[in-house]
Amino acid sequence: MSSHEPLLTKRQIIPDPSPPSSKKACTGSAFHSNPVPCRQQGSIFKLPQELLELIITFAAPYIYNTCGGREYHFSYRTVSNVGLTCRWLYSIATPILYRSISLADIEPSELHYTLQTNPSLRQYCRILSIDASIIFAPSWANSGVADDIVSWLTNVKKLHVHFSYHYREKGYVDSVGSLCATVAKATQSMHELDSLECTGLGFKWIMGSVQSLSLDTLTIWGGGWEKKIVNIPMDNSQDASVTKISLHRCFEPPEVMAQLLQWPKALSSFHLTGFNARDVSVEYSFAMFETWLAKHETTLRTLTFCGLPGDNADERAFNVSAFPHLECLRLSRWDMGTKLWLSDSDADKLLGPSLKTFTWDFRRLTDQQGSWRDFGEEEENWLRGFARAAVERKAALKSIRIAFSLFDSGQGTVGYPWGRMARVRDEFEPYGLIVTWDSPVLPAEEWPGASPQYVYAVDDLYEYVSDDCPSPGEMETIFQEEALL
């Protein structure tokens, strides 16, 4: 897999068109039974198989537009046609087609029959997506089909489990209970499972369902939406192997959050973005997370807080000094107090002994849209004070990144916000402290009153950073990990 290859979720599987009840001999699909022999060994066949895989993938692009921009996938039909040309290309095309399987894009019973009659195909799947609304639909006659599929695909490294928010009426409890059993069987069978992503499922449900000893990365979207969630008993006999947790737009109360953070044996990365509280009385604070994460004080390396619910008017700094090996911290401007100012004690907390990168996030917590007014004189003074404190204390800090991507391209009289950032950059760059930011929505020459000298280069890696990504450096790590699949 190339380092930038997207997850392939469109119709990639080649099921046998014959139903299980057919009297036709079970010879599999035409693709799997009739590859043409290779009669000529041209120069292309002398290339390494890994290179041929890339050639086939890039030679069959399929591009379509989504609300998030363009997405690039390969054409199922083109790759299958390439595989039909000869036995050698067939052996290369088949793993590509079966690398990623989505049970939302293919009839599960057809996939079940294909994998049952062609067991050798099971070894190729690395990414599996499960949609509860498809698997546990009332029309299903065989509820064990999903259990068979997950038990056969033992080489899966990434598992996605989706439970739609609207699928919570009749049969909700039974569906969630059945899904728990399926996920438990999947995580037991998939011995190389590295990543689990869940949508619409509560923290307790996940902790009670996961039975993997190899799982490293856990991502949860919208966890805790349903108050009547099934309470799955947890196995507390051993700590989880998870080392990285990312939570996005979740709804869990503090007591459940505390349980989740105690679940891993050793946590190296924790990211929380866009938190949503079901109850307006629910409040979170930096002090709470400092207590809950104390178990991981020697292992925690990266940390993100963007969107803590509650009144944080008097809380301005997370105590990084309590985590001696923390290297990357990302904080929302809007979680750092109503009145922004930096005291000596705040600087001591933020400038931990190993902190090298600090990201200051200006995205609004409600609509994720910011304004040019958000970075004014108060913010410039805080940034300058933080940089000065780092230099004076000879701290480990080497980089300050400002996440300031705006939809508002209006102009005002409070000053060019990116010019303010540039002034701080120019002041502290001689001391080895680098300040970078997102590309401006308007160049300086188009902003009234802005000085021409504030036309500058920005950190190009920010073009890869979405609303929920931790930092550009961590995105590079993600790209490298994708290449290993």
Supply φ then ψ for residue 66, to 5 degrees: -130, 175
Q: Cα–Cα distance between 321 and 350 in angstroms, integer?
A: 7
Task: Dump the DSSP string for 174-204.
Answer: HHHHHHHHHHHHHHHH-TT--EEEEES--HH
Tens of pLDDT along 9-46?
A: 333 344 333 334 433 333 344 445 455 555 555 566 67
Residue 448 has what pLDDT?
60
Residue pLDDT, tens place only, 304-332:
998 887 665 566 789 999 999 999 999 99
Q: Which helix (H) or strand (E) holds 88?
A: helix 87-97
Percent of the chain with pLDDT over 90: 35
Highest mean pLDDT among 36-40, 370-374, 417-421: 417-421
Residue 349: closest CA among 313, 322, 331: 322
| Residue 323 contacts residue 295 (beta carbons within 8 Å) | no
β partners of residue 401: 359, 436
145-149, 152-156, 353-357: range with lowest mean pLDDT: 145-149
Question: Where residue 149 falls among pLDDT bands split at 50, 70, 90?
Answer: very high
- Reported as a single tens digit per residue, the pLDDT across 171-206 is 444 556 677 888 889 999 999 999 999 988 889 889
Position 124 pLDDT exceeds 80: yes
**Residue 137 confidence (pLDDT):** 59
Q: Which amino acid is at 367?
A: D
Report the range of poorest mean pLDDT among 2-6, 215-219, 339-343: 2-6
Residue 278 — pLDDT band, cuts 50, 70, 90? low
Rounded Cα–Cα distance for residues 402 and 435 (Å): 8
Q: Position of tokens 């002994």? A: 353
The pLDDT value recorded for residue 465 is: 34
What's this model's pTM, rounded to 2 decimal places? 0.78
Q: pLDDT of 70-116, one tens digit each?
A: 445 556 677 777 777 777 778 888 888 888 888 877 778 888 888 99
Residue 151 has pLDDT above 80, yes or no: yes
CA angle 479–480–485, rounded 5-degree value: 95
Q: What's the average model confidence in pLDDT over 111-134?
A: 88
Burial, 348: exposed, middle or buried (Cβ in 10 Å; 0-12, 13-18, 19+)?
Answer: middle
